[in-house]
Amino acid sequence: MSIAAGFRAELARLARTRFDLALLTLVPALLLASMAAMIFPGSLRALKVVVVDRDGGPLARQIIRNVRASPRLDLVGVTPQIGPALSAVRREAAQAVLVIPPAAGLLRDRQPIEILYQAQFLAAGSLASTYLELATADALARAAAQQAQLAGLEGVRRRVPGLHIRLLGNPTLSLEWYLGLLLGPGVLHLAIAVTAIGSAALLMEDGSFAAFARRTRAPATWLIGRMGPHVLAGTLWGALWFLWLTLARGYRLEGSLSIVVAALFLLFVATVAIALLLIAVTRETATALSGAVIVAGSALAYSGASLPINGAPWPAQLWSAILPLTHYLHLQMDETMGAALRPVLVEAGVLLLYPLLPGGLALWLMTRAGARR
């Protein structure tokens, strides 16, 4: 069978070519290991903050005690002036500033308590802001309860229903889990695109696939088999990455790991399809590799997972919809939260279009070259 013949031929080539074999084995291992080391601490801790205390009363002192007691915050300074606090932020000596206005302890007719955070480091700044808000809210609740007790029955108000917020998919606010879900598939997406182009480019002679198509029986199916090791390598490394995050690091996937692994397989089938289209259209290895970097390298930024794509200009939304990583990450995030089956099937259906449309076009361009000569 031509698919099996192409698969065996590629395995034999990889066994002979140590560099290409390393691109499928050693390089992904090093990339994933380095990423695991970088995000290993998990949640950010000891986020440096400064408190601007313009009140000096009991409420302000309670807020400062709460900030000091928070395991996620590191109080690096208390000052009555806003200038030194903003200077600390500009020096990157602090990620956020809490401003307590004068007469804050009156809890009535007062200026609001402000939280300022560094938006250039959005993750650290927003987390510091969240923990400052929690510390402040606790102190305000205690102060309100004390004033109600002092006021007697007149200060007792009707209890309102409580509000409970539950974070879906990442309840611990772990950057390791969040970034691991994005970086692992994203890096492998680019790596497999590069190896697939490198493998297909070896079939060209004088910038054409004509000779390959003429001498190969059923060249389209043979080429599908040749891409098999690349798809399987990407799927295997992606599965190992998820096992590392879930079994070794203890993060919980609410949905099915089997569905995620199947989605990884579809992602790398789509990756190979686009890689073949790039080399079939450009007929030049360097240009095709540059195209792979543009497609796969920009995929994380335009996937909507790291930065919101809703409301972006229509070219950005169109580019996001074209990229296969966008649909894989939608499926993966749905499984992370344990979503229903219907959205998973929709994204899987979109991923199946890539081997049919760009993949089919690539195979037609390659085999047509042999038929014309």
For residues 69-107, one letter each, b for 16 or more C-beta atoms within 10 angstroms of the residue's C-beta and e for the rest, the string is ebebbbbbebbeeeeebeebbeeeebbbbbbbeeebbee
Residue 92: per-residue pLDDT: 82
47-151 CATH choice from 3.40.630.30, 3.20.20.150, 3.40.1710.10, 2.40.110.10? 3.40.1710.10
Residue 309: per-residue pLDDT: 79
C-alpha span between 260 and 13 (Å, rounded): 30
Question: Which stretches within 205-297 are classed as H helix?
Answer: 210-215, 219-243, 257-282, 285-297
Residue 111: per-residue pLDDT: 77
Per-residue confidence in pLDDT tens, the chain, 373 aa: 589 999 999 999 999 999 999 999 999 999 999 999 988 876 677 889 999 998 888 888 889 999 999 888 899 999 999 989 888 888 888 889 999 988 776 656 567 888 888 766 656 777 788 888 888 888 888 777 766 555 554 444 444 444 444 556 666 667 788 889 999 999 999 999 999 999 999 998 888 888 898 888 889 999 999 999 999 999 999 999 999 999 998 888 888 899 999 999 999 999 999 999 999 999 999 999 999 999 998 888 888 877 777 777 888 889 999 999 999 999 998 888 887 888 889 999 999 999 999 999 999 999 886 555 4
Sign for the CA dihedral angle at 140, 143, 149, 153 comes to: negative
Q: Which of 183, 300, 184 is closest to 239 using CA atoms?
A: 184
C-alpha span between 281 and 265 (Å, rounded): 24
Residue 236: C-alpha distances to residues 8, 22, 67, 83, 322 (Å): 18, 15, 45, 53, 25
Q: Where are the domains of the chain?
A: 1-41+174-369, 47-151
Residue 107: per-residue pLDDT: 59
- Is residue 192 within 8 A of residue 230, CB to CB? The reply is yes
Length of the chain: 373
Count other C-beta atoms under 10 Å from residue 317's C-beta. 15
State both tokens at 322. Answer: 């074209």
- Is residue 70 within 8 A of residue 78, CB to CB? The reply is no
C-alpha span between 291 and 322 (Å, rounded): 14
Residue 60: per-residue pLDDT: 86
- Is residue 196 within 8 A of residue 223, CB to CB? The reply is no
In the chain, DSSP assigns E strands to 47-53, 73-79, 96-100, 114-117
- Is residue 97 within 8 A of residue 116, CB to CB? The reply is yes
